[in-house]
Structures are given as structure tokens and as C-alpha cells.
Amino acid sequence: MPRVYSIAPSTPFLPTLVAALRDGSLWPDGRVPDDPLALADATIYLPTRRAARVLEAAFLADAGSPSVVLPDIRAIGDVAEDLLALDETRAADLGQPVLPPLTRRVAMAGLVRSWATRLHAETLDLLPGETVSVPTSPADAARLATDLLDLMDQVETQEADWAALAQLVPEELAAYWQVTTTFLEVAVTAWPDFLAEQGMMEPAQRRRLLVEAEADRLAASRPKGPVIAAGSTGSIPATARLIATIAGLPTGAVVLPGLDFDLDDAAWTAIDDPADPAFSHPQYGLKQLLRRIGIERSDVRALGPVPTGASAARTTLISSAFRPAATTEAWAAPEANAEAAIAGLALIEAETSREEATAIALALRETLETPGATAALVTPDRAIARRVAAEMKRWEIAVDDSAGRPLGTTTAGLFARLAAATATGGDAHTLIALLKHHQCRIGLDHDVYREGVDALERHVLRGHRVRPGSDGLRAAIAHRRSEWADKAKNLAPLDAAETLVDALSAALAPLEDLTRAAEQVAISAFAAAHLAVVEALAHDPARPDALARTADGRALLTALDGLAQTGGVYFDVLPADWPSLFEALAGDAAVRGPVPTDDRLFVWGPLEARLQSVDRLVVAGLNEGSWPAAVEIGPWMSRPMMTAFGLEPPERRIGLAAHDVAQALGARDVVLTRARRVSGTPTVASRWLQRLRTVAGPTASEAIAARGRTYLDWASALDAPSGPPVPAPRPAPAPPVVDRPDRLSVTEIATLIRDPYAIYARHLLRLKPLDPIAPPLEASERGTLIHDVLARFVAEWTGPFDATAVAALVEMGREAFTKLDEAEVAALWLPRFARIAEAFVAREATLATRIRSRLVEIRGRLERPTPAGPVTVAGRADRVDLLSDGTVALYDYKTGSSPSAQEVAAHLEPQLTLEALMLREGGLESVPADQTVSDIAYIELKGAREPLTVRSILDNKAGKDAATLVAEVDQKLRALLSAYAMDGSVYLSRARIQREKSFGGDYDHLARAREWALSVEGGE
């Protein structure tokens, strides 16, 4: 009878395994030989390399010595292992090496891309009404290739036969699946030919052959020492055969993880009922393994302590919660010992992912208060793992996610992505993000580099649009030099920027040269150039190997070097495709972090957690779609196709995940967690959590939740203020009168009325908003451009206002828009301007006989006395028309909405009336004083259905004429300026703001307006 054992979920697996070897339980005759080196004759097979390392540590801990004789511990691989760690000399016939992962992915991506190209050209028209998902870019092809390689691995691992593909009847499949089946037939023929040409073999095939070779070796040699297979569920057929071989050896033994002895016979039978097999049951795989070994559940013996008391109750509760759906009538009443079963069990149901992470961090941190206690977070959700790691930094504790982080999300991965994007046409935002990345030094001294980056950002990139690439930067610096030379400005900042750009250009050259060529190039060439660029950008004279010192840096260099070695694989791409393709090919490579600062806290994925034990286990992310993961079929085979092909259904993966959760629930101290909303979207509790609540009953479920609320309360209190929130006071500075401005523009007078604090910040604090980096063309810039074009036209045009004038004005506009170097924007704006031009000329033709002279962009100023001395108000009038009747019309162009006549009459928007006041007093250049103003108006130039609209401010409800408005604004101006010339007067923030809930002012953030406005303005 094969010797098969099981260790209960409540019993630490690996320590129990060590104890059983020490006390003779796993030796063939039940006792340990007297030879002190006897343990070296034992061989133990474990499912993962991590488990093998932990078992070694367990032997050392049991021996209490740093040196001990160990058995031969090997990882046979399971589910997500890449390759077996077996001695390949025992499989001499496996002389072909495995195809490198990146080469494999690139080659398959090339095959998929070729198929997609033919599909677009030949097949899409054969699928009327069908939505066909085909790759539209090399990156899409790479991702689809990854899915196909996963399918091929699945076929190899589950030992299905590609020959079955020919037995699928195309006519019985949907049109899209007919297309994919056709391609699969080509792929499975072409791929072996490619492997043979490369002299390589598939990793899954090699793994299967190695396992088979090891099973054959054991069967033939029949080792004298114990041979033990422990901890595997035998989910891979080849592994299951190896385990069965070991079970059949005279010295062999198999130790299963968590075989359910409590499940009644009816439920046990239902697990693999041919009519309705429970693929998603945690015991499905173990039952299949027992059948392969040739024994019944009753033949399996318990190893280690038999669960009693609360542990036994918990084991029974878990068994009942996971019972097959066909036998859930047993749930009619809650478990009798539910109260004992839930001892040590807590449930955290947080409202958000952030709250969940904080509560988990507190649960882990609490464990450290007990000397020597250990804790681990187990979750398949890497986002939760990252959030918890970030929360642990509150206490200066670094924890490492053993499942690793995708290379693309690491610091080095982001650096490489920025480098690729910048060198292949990235915008200024991408460039500045690259330059400010802490790994970017370009071989320059730190101070020189920092000075260059600051100068480039402030004087070249901010407020200006720069063409992509080094050439664009050089042109922008040269343009700035010419501007500054005319103004006799200090050119030192531009010298610093130029030094930086020279070094940057040399570093980016390998990729920029390929980009300028704008031709398709092999992936290997792009990778080699990318590698050279990354190394050049990261070169730090003080630390030449800085990038290689970090785990993610080494992973990045390895990935790029691996892609550069794919030269024999034909796959060419355009420069613009490289950044996304690099991310698709190498972005998901796992990067393990640094050694954690506390060796008592761990973060594991479900695979890493297998067979491990800690004092407290936090099982996180228990939402449908996360744990268990959503069932995904994949793009290459439908569910009926998979069934016909002989592949296991996707639900089998849920069964493996269910076994992981069932094992975790067996721990003495377990904290379960979930978030009710993730990224703002409501979630559904995991089916396993719902089952657990049902079986435990409402009373026990509430007790579990109450324990979890303790951590939620702590999380809430962690960042809660000690008292009620006290908003910052509304700014009301009262600077000395002598420091206050004695010169303001007409637009600043409106600002002084509505938001005096902005005047204080600009003139007294001397703070000016930074221009945005590479600002997009906005309505304000269009307005400035149209102003300039109309001013030029009015000043230069001497002919009649007819079609010729319209054509001339449109041409002036075209010239101005062309200088923007934004073809798409110009194409959008020009038609609108053409409508404005036609309406503008038509108006000029109508008024031609009434206008004696047209003046544009007229400077103006006036001076008013105050108790602290005179204050000058300056401005510029867009247009002043001297009319034939001896009066004057004053206009302001607006390409957006203009202030209402009521706002102007109330002197909240005094720009035009102040200009009229200047005109009255002779303050406008070229305009005589004491002219009668017959009209003051805004000319709206929108280019819409009504391209041009004239809105006179004299059309106000108060019926005020120009003289009245001018007299009133003069009185208001004197009072306003005098008030701010008095000691103690304050520059209040948002004094008469136009829209209370709008916080778009340049200085609102400095005034902390959002904070105090809620109380001052009544909140929302």
C-alpha cells in the first residue's frame, strides 16, 4: 500500500515535515537509522523553489545549529514555475536548450503580426457584421502573442494533442473562431519548424520531459533512502505521474497539503461527478491525484498533530463552506461549533482600497508588538501589496512583495520608458519628466546637470512650444538667444541649457538616429540602441554603475540585452512603435525588491504562500474578480473549443485558488479583508467569503466583522486630527503704505476690485505664475493672434473694403497661423477666422464714410493723487475711431465672452471706462483731450454663426451715457486708490469674486482659498 499522508491546514506544513523525518514517521520502517548522516540519503520534492529554501531553514531551526546535514531538497515545479531545478545530466537526451523567453515572445509576435496583416487584407471582408479583435500595432501583436504562448504552454502542460485541432469542425464555430482556428493550424506547423531552425525547444516541453525522466530514473534505480513528495496537489499531469511513481517506491512517501477528511462521502463523491464535476472545488485536484496513485481517501493517514478543539472546529467549518454546490442542502443550519471555529478569525470590510491597505498595515504592525511573532500578507492583487508596503513606511518598515513588481512600473522601468518616448518624438512634458528622474545624469557633474535642467525648463520649455528631439531643443535655444540678445539679457542660463542639451543629444543619438530615418528596423536594433541610451542617460560620474546597483536596474539591463540578442528573429517596427512594444515585451518581467528591514513581516502571492506558516496571516483582496480572478477564456479558443480540444476548463484555476484560501483559513490567527469599492466601483464579496458567512451564521459572522472593525477604527483614528478642523484664515495682508504699488494696469484695477490679494502677491511678494511647459494652443492665444492680425490690417490697409480687402485680411491670418507650426490647429482656426474677416470688412465698409481715422493699439495713462502719493494707471486701447462728426468711438476686441453692460455700469469691469477716462484727459496717445465719446463697445469675434457682434456698454439698464460712466469710474478709481493708500487697509483674498465656487485664480492656491472659502462662503 502506498504511504500517503496529509498535513492539516491548521498545522504548520514544513515544520511538521521536518519533525516527521526526525522522528522516523516518514522512514520506510518507521524509525531513523543510527547513522548521523542518514538524513543525507533522503530526497524531498517540493512544489516551488521558495518552499525548498524555507524547508532548509526549517531543518536548521529544528537542529538549533548553523550547520546540519540536510536531505536532498528539490523543487519539482508547479503551476507557475518556469523551469525545473533538476540535475539535467540525468536527462542527457535533452540536449537542446530552451528558447530564451524574450526571443520566444518576439518570434511569436512576428508570426501573429504577419497573420494580422493578412487578416486585414484578405479576411475581414469575409466577416460581415462581426467585431474582429486583431492586433493593430506591434505592441498589440506582442500581447496577443503572449496569450498564444500561454495557450501553447497549457496544451503542452496538460498533454493535449494539437492534432485534435484538425477535428474541430469550422462550420460549427462562429466566424471569428474559424479565423483563429485557421491561424492556429498555421502556427502549430510553423512554430516547430522555427524551433528546429533555432536548435531550441519549448520550456513547458522541457519541463515535462525532465519530470518524466526523473520519474523513470526513480522507478529504475529505486533509491534506498526515503524519497518524499510533499506539498504538491499534482495539478500538472507530469508532476502527478512523478508523485505516483514516488508513492509506488518501497521507500517512497507522499505528503499532501490539507486533504479534507471532514467532508462527507456524498460531497466527496460529488467533487468529480462525471455529470457535473466541481472543477472549482479545492479538493478536486487532490482527489484526481489519489485516483492516479490508486488509493482512496480512507487510505491516507494524518501526519502531525490531529486538530482538536478550536482547530478542529475551524477545519470542519472550512470543509463545510467549500462543499460542492450539489450538496449545499447541508447548510440548512449554521455549524454547531461556529463560535469556537471563528476564534482567531477577523474580517475587515473597508469602504475603499486605501482604507483596506491602512487597516492591513495596522494588523501587520500589531504583530510586531509580540516579541518574535511573524505575520504575512497574502493576496493576488499586487496593487494591494504596493499600497500596504507604502503604508508600512509610516513606521519606517520596508516589506518586500515576494511576487515582485512588473518591470514597467519600477523606477528603472519608468526611466527606460521615458527615455524611449523622448528619443522617438516625445513631447516636452516627457522630456522634463526624464530629466528630473533621479537616475538621469547624462555624465554631467551634479551641479552642472541641475543648473542645466532648471535653465532648460524655465527659459526654453515654459511658455514656448518646442519641436520634439534634440534638434528642436537646439532651435529653441537659438531662438531664445536671438530674443535675449535684442534685450541685452544675461545669456548664462541659455549657456547652461545648451551644455545640458549637448550631453542629452549625444546620449539620445542611438535612438534619435533611428527615429530620423523613419524606417522599419529590427527589434534587436532598437533594443541595442535603447540599451545604449539608457546607459548613457544614467551615467553618473560619481557613481558610474548606479543603475546596475538596483534590482530593477539590473532587470532592465538584462531585458534590453535579451531583446538585443534577438537579431536572428525577423520582426521590424517603426520608431513610433518602439516605446509601446518595449513595454509589451518586457514590461511585465517580475522584479524582486530589496531585502526587507524586518524579517518577521512578509508579503506573498498565493504561490509564494504555499506551505509557509506565520503567527498571523492576512488574506486580502477577497472580491469577485480579484480572488478568485475572473474567468477569462482568451482570444484564441472559445470554451467549447477548449472542451473539444481536451483542455481543462478555466474553472480549474479557481479550484487551485480555492485550495490556497482554504489552506490559509486554517491558520490560527487569520485576518480576511476586502474593499467595498475599488477605484470608485462597487465590488462583490468573494464567493468563498459569502459561503463562510452562510455556514458560520449571522451571530458568528458579526463577531468576525466586529474584530475587523477594530482595525478600521484604528485606521480612521490614525490620520484623524486631534480636534475639529480649523481652516486657514482668509488672507488679509496690510503691508506698509510705502511698499504698495504706485503703478497699475487697467486690467489690474479690475483685479484690485475683485481679488486684491492677487495684486499683493504680484507686486509686493513679486510672485508671478510660471508659464506652463509647452503650453497647448488655447483660446487666449487665438485671441492675441486675431488682435494682432486685425491691428496690422487696420494700420496697413489703404484700399476699399471689398472682396480684395477680405482676401488680404484672410491672407494675413493665414501667415500668422502658419507661424504657429501647428498645422492641425491652424486648419481648425482658419475657417473661423475667414468668417470673422468677411464680417469685419463688411462692418468697415458700412462705417467707412463715418470714420475719419482709425487708431489701433494706443497706449494710455492717467495719474490720480492718493494720501501716499500719485498712482499711475496705464493701459492699451485695442482700437479708437475718430468719427466724422467729431466724436470718438472706443472698442475692445474679444474672441471670448465680453463683460455685460451691467457689470461695466457697476464698475466691476472698468477696462473700457478707464480707457475712456484716459481719453477725456488726453491720456491716450495721438488722441486729443476732451473728445466726446459717442460709443464704447466690445467687438466679439467668435467666428461662429454670428462671426462678429458689437456689444455697446451704453446699452445698460441704468441708462447711463458715456460721460456719466466716465465720471463715475473716475470717482470710483479715486476712492479705490485712496483706500489702498491708507495704513491698515488690507488686500483681501477674493473680495468680490465673480463665481464663488471657481478657484482658478493664479494665486488662489497661495491664499489657500479652497480651505477657508468653505466656511466664509458657506461651503457647498
CB-based contacts of 74, cutoff 8 Å, min separation 6: 43, 44, 45, 46, 52, 85, 86
Q: What is the pLDDT of residue 30?
A: 82
Look at residues 209, 281, 204, 287 and name the one whose alpha carbon lies nearest to residue 242: 209
**How far, in Å, are 37, 607, 614 from residue 604 at the CA level?**
34, 8, 12
Q: How far is CA 596 from the centre of its chain?
A: 24
Pick the CATH number of 4-94+205-332 from 3.20.20, 3.40.30, 3.30.450, 3.40.50: 3.40.50
DSSP one-letter code for 589: -
**Residue holding cell 540578442?**
565
pLDDT of residue 87: 46
> Long-range contacts made by residues 833-838, C-beta under 8 angstroms, separation at least 24?
833/786, 833/789, 833/943, 834/810, 834/943, 835/943, 835/944, 835/947, 836/786, 836/941, 836/942, 836/943, 836/947, 836/948, 837/806, 837/809, 837/810, 837/813, 838/806, 838/947
In SS3 terms, 250-300 reads as CCEEEEEECCCCCCCHHHHHHCCCCCCCCCCCCCHHHHHHHHHHCCCHHHC
Tens digit of each residue's pLDDT (9 = 90 or more) over 722-766: 888 788 899 999 999 999 999 999 999 999 999 999 999 999 999
Q: From residue 925, how far is each of 334, 365, 879 by CA, in Å?
A: 93, 74, 12
Reported as type and span, the H/E element at residue 406 is: strand 405-406
pLDDT of residue 997: 56
Same fold, 342-404+599-630+653-718 and 737-979: no
Q: Rounded CA gap, 656 and 281, in Å?
A: 8
Amino acid letter, 441: R
Instruction: Give pLDDT, residue 727.
Output: 82
- Per-residue pLDDT, 29: 85
Whole-number pLDDT of residue 462: 92
How many whole angstroms separate alpha carbon 52 and alpha carbon 66? 17
Cell output for 270: 460529488
So what's the pLDDT on residue 38? 86
pTM for this model (two decimals): 0.85
Cα angle, residue 489 at apex, residues 488 and 495 outer, rounded to 5° = 120
Residue 553 contacts residue 93 (beta carbons within 8 Å): no
Q: Which residue has the cell 489701433?
A: 856
Burial class of residue 758 (count of CB atoms within 10 Å of its CB; 0-12, 13-18, 19+) = buried
Q: Which residues pair with 349 in a beta bridge?
A: 674
- Fold entry, domain 737-979: Lambda Exonuclease; Chain A (3.90.320)
| Class of CATH domain 342-404+599-630+653-718 | alpha beta
Which residues in the chain come in under a pLDDT of 70? 77-95, 119-135, 169-176, 332-335, 488, 568, 594-598, 779-780, 821-826, 956, 958, 994-999, 1014-1020
Closest by CA to 918, choosing from 745, 703, 697, 764, is 745
Q: Which run of H or of E encompasses 887?
A: strand 887-894
How far is it, in rounded angstroms, from Cα 408 to Cα 421? 13
- For residue 787 the three cell numbers come to 488682435
| Domain parsing of the chain, residue ranges | 4-94+205-332, 101-200, 342-404+599-630+653-718, 407-591, 737-979
Question: DSSP characters for 120-171?
Answer: IIIIGGGSTT-------SHHHHHHHHHHHHHHHHHHHHTT--GGGGGGS-GG
- Answer for the pair 303, 5: CB distance below 8 angstroms, yes or no: yes
Q: What pLDDT was estimated at residue 134? A: 61
Please tell me whether residue 994 adopts helix, strand or coil conformation.
coil
What pLDDT, on the 0 to 100 scale, is given for residue 93? 53
Give dist(CA 467, CA 847) in Å, integer.
44
